[in-house]
Structure 1
Amino acid sequence: METRPLGGTGAEVTEIGLGTWELGGDWGDVAEAEAREAINAALDAGVNFLDTADVYGSGRSERLIRDVLAERDEDPFVATKAGRMLDPHTADGYDEAHLREFVDDSRERLGVESLDLVQLHCPPTDVYYQPSTFEALETLREEGRIDDYGVSVERVEQGLKAIEYPGVETVQIIFNPFRQRPRELFLREAANRNVGVIVRVPLASGLLTGALSPETEFPDNDHRNFNREGDAFDVGETFAGVPFERGLEAVDAIEPVVPEGQSMAQFALRWILDHDAVTTVIPGSSSPAHIRDNVAAADLPRLSAERHAAVRSVYDEYIREHVHQRW
């Protein structure tokens, strides 16, 4: 699998990584053995970028990564996130004391002296107008607690504001055929500033796998059940903010555009990777077969201009009104 430079970190990371939210929680029950198997499958497939967060299963995801890596020779790049442990989750909590506490806890759970990358975890918008937060991250870097820092954002505007801070090396953002706004300005600005772009929710919580239907039922503890209206966190994290039924209609409209021999998931991942400003894409899965299928998308040829145009048409007809100006 090809690699791409991750901003100014000096790291070269695989085009497909592994997101581990699903292995921590909010996606139904995933047994520990199953979660370990998923991480091992990703590493076996050549993935060298793992994304996690302290809040995923209250540290479960970080501990699982530590335990799996302790049994292997690979040294993948591990990005984690901090901030969502705050209660209440307010901008003034993103101070040096809290960030040091969160970083030290993640260091312990991951079993490392210094975190490869810590990302502010979708903080309130006011944080991006709070230079003291980024000064605190710089202090933690100087102290050797973290190697680099970045942000995970909900909105394009937050990402554009974040990259005004020179120490921000990466931005994690939702970008897929159902969330196309980042391609208008953000991707260009990130490339101009040599900022790494980590794409999450690439398959719109499973919509863009083509495996869901109106009859699909989700467990009570799966966010695709309990967060459809944004009751627990930003609704844009669930089905990329697209109403479920409308998303299914859009998938049906995209299906004829998918090249023969490709899965819908591979098509969506290839669509994302065709944007050169993207560094890595982090689909999550607990299925080794799905992980291998996702990784294979990196080796597929670029999509034609005609297929990209067809995806834009589907977006304009089915999706744009629901998401474009919101995020």
Structure 2
Amino acid sequence: MNQPWRLTRRTALKLLGLGAGALAWPGAWARVPEGSIRKRAVPSSDEQVPVVGVGTARTFDVGRTEAEREPLAAVLRQFFDHGGRVIDTSPMYGQAETVIGDLLARIDHPEPFYATKVWTRGERAGIRQMEQSAERLGTDVIDLMQVHNLVDWQTHLDTLARWQDEGRIRYAGITHYVVSAFDDLERIMKARDLDWVQLPLSLATPDAADRLLPLAADRGIAVVVNRPFENGRLFRRVGDRELPGWAAEFGAESWAQLFLKYILSYPEVTCVIPATSDPAHMADDMRAGYGPLPDAAQRRRMEKLWAEVA
């Protein structure tokens, strides 16, 4: 992680009254808040899923050594201890699928919600890749299979429909990570029956809020939000600036929680998937799923703040 990220996390710990001593005592940041993590329904099934999941791009692409993998095992322990279920990955993310499967085989955990992707061209190649993903993850049934960045989406969505009928996957969806792809996302969301769509949304990139979120609600499509911190850009922007006191009104104790609660303040968002290789950051992120969320007026106040720092 970059230095501004670490600085803002330290600032958050100071705001919590923990300080340097707490960093040496994992129980301080690992303590699970009272109550349960917030959940939202997948429209096509009414299944309830926790609103904070975990992404694995870059962070879980590591080797086989204990030094490389133990921090990620700790990340997953924090994730599950705080009520998480949705683990999002892809064959595009190097060794991430294999690392997840290996780690889940060695730690105690509740039933995860496996979300991965197909990222190739052609029906046969897509089937081979999806079968390999299931093997790497160590599961017979993948909860959510997504067409990654819309690559050969017509072919793969046809395959996914068959796989749903056969019980090999539970949900089908599409993904992209840039605003320039919104025209294509919109067109496919209108034309095809989808369970999920994955897209970017943040204080720095709010474009989906006025355009794709209402469409998802109208079409009964669950929404998973990627890149909530813009690869650390949001933390670099706020730097060492103190968290505003009014963030406590909706339970935000750190900049990470403020950024995540902004996204979750949109009721159309089903789940957000921050990625991290630091268990303390994972615990911090998961806390965004607890307690109140901003209302429309508080969301506008957050947007005004962002305009000031941007």
What TM-score comes out, normalization by structure 1 length?
0.72
> Take 1:253 and 1:185, find their aligned partners in 2: how far apart are those partners?
31
CA–CA separation in structure 2 for the residues paired with 1:264 and 1:77: 27
Matched, 1:21 2:21: no
Change in Cα spacing, 1:73 to 1:25, as seen in structure 2 (3 Å) is closer
Provide closer, same or farther for how the CA distance between residues 133 and 254 of structure 1 changes in structure 2, counting only shifts above 3 A. farther
What is the aligned partner in structure 2 of residue 298 from structure 1? 289
In 2, Cα distance between equivalents of 1:184 and 1:170:
18
- Cα offset, 1:293, TM superposition: 1.0
**How far off is 1:107 after superposition?**
1.1
Residues 253, 40 of structure 1: alpha-carbon distance in 2 compared, 3 angstrom cutoff:
closer
Percent of aligned pairs with the same residue? 27
Give the aligned partner of residue 192 of structure 1. 218
Shift of 1:24: 2.6
Q: 1:157 aligns with which of 183, 192, 195?
A: 183
Query: Which letter does structure 2 place at the counterpart of 1:202?
Result: P
Cα 1:318–1:37, aligned 2, differ >3 Å: closer, same or farther?
Answer: closer
**Residues 258 and 281 of structure 1, relative CA distance in 2, 3 Å threshold:** farther
Structure 1 distance, partners of 2:100, 2:46, is 22
Question: How far apart in 2 are the matches of 1:160 and 1:258?
Answer: 35
Amino acid at match of 2:74: E
Q: CA deviation at 1:164?
A: 2.5
Partner of 2:42: 6
TM-score by length of structure 2 reads: 0.76
- In the other structure, the counterpart of 1:229 is none
Q: Which moved more, 1:133-142 or 1:39-48?
A: 133-142
Taking the aligned partners of 1:25 and 1:190, their CA distance within structure 2 comes to 31
**C-alpha RMSD of matched pairs (Å):** 2.7
Q: Structure 1's 140 and 96: CA in aligned 2 closer, same or farther, altered over 3 A?
A: farther
Q: 1:227 is matched with which residue? A: none
Distance 1:7 1:159 in 2: 18
SS in 2 for 1:22: coil
Contact 1:103 1:145 in 2 (8 A): no
The aligned length equals 264
CA distances 1:24-67 after superposition (whole Å, capped 9, x unpaired): 339xx98112222211221111101111111212xx22222223
Question: Paired residue for 1:137?
Answer: 160
Give the 3 Å change call, closer, same or farther, for CA 139–165 of structure 1 in structure 2.
farther
Is the Cα–Cα contact under 8 Å of residues 100 and 140 in structure 1 kept in the other structure? no
Q: Deviation at 1:9?
A: 4.4
**Are 1:101 and 2:146 an aligned pair?**
no
- Tell me the distance in 2 between the aligned counterparts of 1:73 and 1:265: 25
Q: How far 1:305 sits from its partner (Å)?
A: 4.1
Shift, 1:142, TM fit: 2.8
Using the alignment, how far apart are the partners of 1:207 and 1:132 within structure 2?
35
In structure 2, the gaps of 5 or more residues are 1-36
Report deviation, 1:72.
2.2
Distance 2:133 2:216 in 1: 27
